[in-house]
Structure 1
Amino acid sequence: LTQSNTQSLQTLQTRLDARLVELRNASDQRLAEMRATVEQRLRELQADNEKKLEQMRATVDEKLHATLEQRLGESFKQVAERLELVHRGLGEMQTLAQGVGDLQRVFSNVKSRGVFGEIQLAGLIEQVFTPEQYGVNVETVPGSGARVEYAIRLPGKGDGPLWLPIDAKFPREDYERLLDAQERVDKPAADAAAKALEQRIRDEARTIQNKYIAAPHTGDFGILFLATEGLYAEALRRPGLVEALQRENRVMLAGPTTLLALLNSLHMGFRTLALEQRSTEVWKVLGAVKTEFAKFGDVLAKTRKKLDEASNTIGAAETRTRAMHRQLRQVEALPVEQSQSLLGLTEVDPEDADDAL
C-alpha cells in the first residue's frame, strides 16, 4: 500500500509538473504576445503623436510666422509714418526758418520795415473804408511835395478834400535794444534805450506835424501808427509821452488794435453824417409830397362834383324814361323784326351791350 501510494504521488507530481510547465509555457506565450501587441500599439501611438506634434508645430510655426510678419509690417508701417511726419516737420521747420530769415532780412532794412508798417496799415484801412474814403501817397499840403503814406478823406464843405494824415513807423533798433536790456535785467541800459525810443517817437511826431498837418487842407491832428502792439505798449509806458504829442505836435499815437477802433469810430461818424444829409433830403421830398397831395385833394373834389352832376343827369333821364314808358303803355308793341325794319335798326345782343359798356 505504501508503495502504491508512493507511485500515485509520483504520478500526480509528474502530472502537476507537466501541467505547470504547460501553464508556464502558455503564460510565457501570452505574455510575449501581449508584449508584442503593447509594443506595436506603443509604436503606433508614438508615430501618431509624432505626426500630430509635427502638424501642431507646423501650424504654430505658420501662425507665428504670419503674426510676426503682420506685427513687423504694422511696426514698419508705423515707423515709416512717423519718419514721414518727422520729415514733413523738418521740411516745415526748414521753411519756417527760411521765412524767419527772410523776415529778419526784411526787418534789418529800414525801407523794408517801413514797407511792413505800410502793408499792415493798408490792411487795417481797407477793412473799414472804401477806396473813395481814403487816399494813398497823398500830398496833404498843396505845393509842399511831402506825401503821407495814407490819409482819410474827411467830410468837409470846402472845394477841396479835407485829409486826416496817417503815417506808419517801426523803430526796430531802439525797440530791440530796449527788449535786450530788459532781458538782461540791465536797468541803466533799459532806461537809456527807453529814452532813445521816446526821442525817436517825438522826432517822428514832429515830422508829421511839419510835413502833413496844415489847416484848412487837413484836420487839426494826425496819427502816428506803431506797427506792433509791443512797441505801442512801450510808448504808453513812457510817462506823459502820449499827452505831450497830442498837446505839442497835435499827433495821436495808435497801435494796430487802437487804430482799428479809431477807424471804426470815424466810419460810424461818416455814416451818421450821411444819414443826417439823407434825412434832410427826405424831409424836403416829404414837404413836396405834402404840397402835391393838397393839390390832389382839390382835383379829387372837382372830380367828385363832376361825377355827382353826371349821376344827377342820369337820374333825370331815368325819370323821363319811366314817364315816357307810362305814356306808351297803352300803345301796342310791334314784333321785334317789324320794329327793326321800320326804324332801320339792327338787333343788339344784351351781353354785347354790357361788354360795350
Structure 2
Amino acid sequence: MALEIAVLIVALLALAGIILMLIKPQAKTGTTDFQETLDKLHKNLIELVTRSSGETKQAVSSAFSKEFVDIWEKINKQLEAVRETVEKKLGDIQKHNDTKLEEMRKTVDEKLHMTLERRLGESFQLVGERLEQVHKGLGEMQTLAASVGDIKKVLTNVKTRGIWGEVLLGNLLEQILTSEQYQQNVVTKKGGNEPVEYAIRLPGKDQDDGQTVWLPIDSKYPKEDYERLLDAQERADKTGADEAGRDLETTLKNEAKDIRDKYLDPPHTTDFAIMFLPSEGLYAEAVRRPGLSERLQREYRVSLAGPTTLTAILNSLLMGFRTLAIQKRSSEVWALLGTIKTEFGKFGDLLDKTHKKLQEATNTIEDASKKSRTIERKLKGVGELPIHKAASLLELDEEQDVESLKEA
C-alpha cells in the first residue's frame, strides 16, 4: 500500500511539472488567480508528498521490520537446524574418532609391548653376555694379578730374583750353544769353592789332555737401585736421579769385584768374565753411565751384557767353535778328497774302456749293416717264391714260420 502511494505521488509531481512546462510560455498572458491557484496546488502537492513520504517511510519501515523479523526467525530456525545437524555429525565423528583412537591405542600398545619385550629380551641377553665377558675378564684379571704378584715376589726376593736371572741366562745358552759347549755351577777358580752360575767351555792348548778354559758368566739384577732411579726420573727429580744413579754404579762395581775375586783364575779361565743383566732397560742405563763400562773392564776385567748383547756374543763364539772344528777336521777332509780323487781317476779309466767297447760294438753293427745292404742288392734280381714253397725249402714249421714269413 505504501509503495502504491509513493508511486502515485511521483506521478502527481510529474504531472505538475508537465503542467508548469505548458503554462510557462503563456505566463505573460495568464491571470494572477491562476498563478495563485497553481501555487496553492504546488504547496498542497508538497504537503501531500511530505505527508505521503512520512507515511511511506513508516509503512516501509513497518513492512521491513516485519519482513526482517520473519527472515530472522527463519534464519534462527535454519541455524538451529544446522546446529543440531552439526552437533549430531560432530557427535558421530567424535564417536567414530574415539573408536578409531581406541583401536589405534590398542594396536600401538600391542606393538609397543611386543617391541618392548623384544628389545628388553635383546638387552637382557646382551647384558648377560657382557656380564659373562666381564666375569671372564675378571677371572683373567685375577689370574694376571696373581701372576703379577708372583713376579713381584720373584723380583722382591733377592734369592728368587737371582734364580730368575739365572733361568733367563740358561735359556739363552740353551738356545744358541750345545750342551757340550757350556756347563752350569762350575768352580772355575783353583782351590775355590764358589761355583759360577754358567761357564762356557773354550778350547785350550791342552784340551786333548782334558784341560779346559772357562769363560765365567754370572747374572746380577740390582732391582732396588734401578727402581729408585726410574722413580726419580719419572718425578723429574734430578737430585734423586743422580743419587740413585751413583748407588747403581756402586752396586755394579761391587758385583764386578765379587765376580773377579770368585771366578777369574787365568789360565784356567779367561782373563775376563761377563756380568749378565737380565733387563734391557737396566743394561742400557748401566752403559749410559759415563765411564762405568770401561772402568769395569779395566779394573775388574768384567764386561756388561744384556740379553741382546749376550746373544750376539754367544753367536760369535759359536762361529769360532765351528771354525775351530773345521780346522781340526781339515786333514780328514783332505784325506777324503784324496780318496775321492783316486776313485774318480779309476772311474775315468773305466769310462774310457766302456767307450772303447761301445765303439767296437758300433763298428761291428755298421759292418753287418753294410753286408746286409750288399746282399739285398744282389738278391734284387731273384724272383720270389710262394710262402709255402719257401717254407718247405727252408724246412720251416708251417704254422709259426709261415706267419713269420707273412710278417716279413
The TM-score bracket by the shorter chain reads: 0.5 to 0.7
Give me the whole-angstrom Cα distance separating, in 1, the residues matched to 2:259 and 2:229. 24
Identity of aligned residues (%): 63
Residue in 2 aligned with 1:282?
333
- Cα shift readout 1:162-218 (whole Å, capped 9, x = no counterpart): 32211000112222233334336151x433332222122122222222222223332
Give me the whole-angstrom Cα distance separating, in 2, the residues matched to 1:101 and 1:280. 58
For residue 300 of structure 1, report the CA deviation from its aligned partner: 8.2
For residue 76 of structure 1, report the CA deviation from its aligned partner: 2.7
Does the C-alpha gap of structure 1 residues 293 and 91 become closer, same or farther in structure 2, counting only changes over 3 Å? closer
Mean Cα deviation higher: 176-185 or 100-109: 176-185
- Cα shift readout 1:63-96 (whole Å, capped 9, x = no counterpart): 1101111222223333333333444444333333
Residue in 1 aligned with 2:122?
74
Partner amino acid for 1:242? S
Question: RMSD between aligned alpha carbons?
Answer: 4.7
Say yes or no: does 1:153 pair with 2:212: no
Partner amino acid for 2:305? A
Unaligned runs of 5+ in 1: 1-36, 309-357
Residue in 2 aligned with 1:218?
269
Say yes or no: does 1:193 pair with 2:244: yes
Residue in 2 aligned with 1:260?
311
Match of 2:149 among 101, 107, 126: 101
Residue in 2 aligned with 1:272?
323
Say yes or no: does 1:92 pair with 2:144: no
Give me the whole-angstrom Cα distance separating, in 2, the residues matched to 1:304 and 1:123. 61
Give me the whole-angstrom Cα distance separating, in 1, the residues matched to 2:131 and 2:154. 34
Residue in 1 aligned with 2:302?
251
Residue in 1 aligned with 2:259?
208
Give me the whole-angstrom Cα distance separating, in 1, the residues matched to 2:357 and 2:102. 125
For residue 307 of structure 1, report the CA deviation from its aligned partner: 12
Contact kept, 8 Å, 2:188 with 2:264, in 1: the verdict is: yes
Match of 1:228 among 248, 255, 279: 279
SS in 1 for 2:105: helix
After TM superposition, the structure 1 = structure 2 runs for residues 304-343 of structure 1, keeping only pairs within 5 Å, are: none
Give me the whole-angstrom Cα distance separating, in 2, the residues matched to 1:68 and 1:213. 81
For residue 249 of structure 1, report the CA deviation from its aligned partner: 2.2
Does the C-alpha gap of structure 1 residues 210 and 53 become closer, same or farther in structure 2, counting only changes over 3 Å? same
For residue 285 of structure 1, report the CA deviation from its aligned partner: 0.8
Partner amino acid for 1:185? D
Say yes or no: does 1:238 pair with 2:300: no
Residue in 1 aligned with 2:378?
none
Does the C-alpha gap of structure 1 residues 294 and 76 become closer, same or farther in structure 2, counting only changes over 3 Å? closer
For residue 244 of structure 1, report the CA deviation from its aligned partner: 1.8
Does the C-alpha gap of structure 1 residues 307 and 262 become closer, same or farther in structure 2, counting only changes over 3 Å? closer
Say yes or no: does 1:137 pair with 2:188: no
Does the C-alpha gap of structure 1 residues 223 and 55 become closer, same or farther in structure 2, counting only changes over 3 Å? same
Partner amino acid for 2:129? E
Partner amino acid for 2:192? S
Give me the whole-angstrom Cα distance separating, in 2, the residues matched to 1:87 and 1:199. 48
Give me the whole-angstrom Cα distance separating, in 1, the residues matched to 2:196 and 2:93. 106
**Bigger radius of gyration among the two:** 2
How many pairs were matched up? 308
For residue 39 of structure 1, report the CA deviation from its aligned partner: 11
For residue 53 of structure 1, report the CA deviation from its aligned partner: 4.2
TM-score where L is the length of structure 1? 0.66
Partner amino acid for 1:283? W
Give me the whole-angstrom Cα distance separating, in 1, the residues matched to 2:182 and 2:94. 103
Contact kept, 8 Å, 2:190 with 2:265, in 1: the verdict is: no
Give me the whole-angstrom Cα distance separating, in 2, the residues matched to 1:58 and 1:156. 100
Does the C-alpha gap of structure 1 residues 124 and 300 become closer, same or farther in structure 2, counting only changes over 3 Å? closer
Q: Which has the higher contact order (CA 8 A, sep 6+)?
A: 1
Partner amino acid for 2:153? R
Give me the whole-angstrom Cα distance separating, in 2, the residues matched to 1:223 and 1:102. 28
- Cα shift readout 1:301-345 (whole Å, capped 9, x = no counterpart): 89999999xxxxxxxxxxxxxxxxxxxxxxxxxxxxxxxxxxxxx
Mean Cα deviation higher: 82-91 or 237-246: 82-91
Match of 1:179 among 210, 230, 243: 230
TM-score where L is the length of structure 2? 0.58
Residue in 2 aligned with 1:317?
none
SS in 2 for 1:253: strand
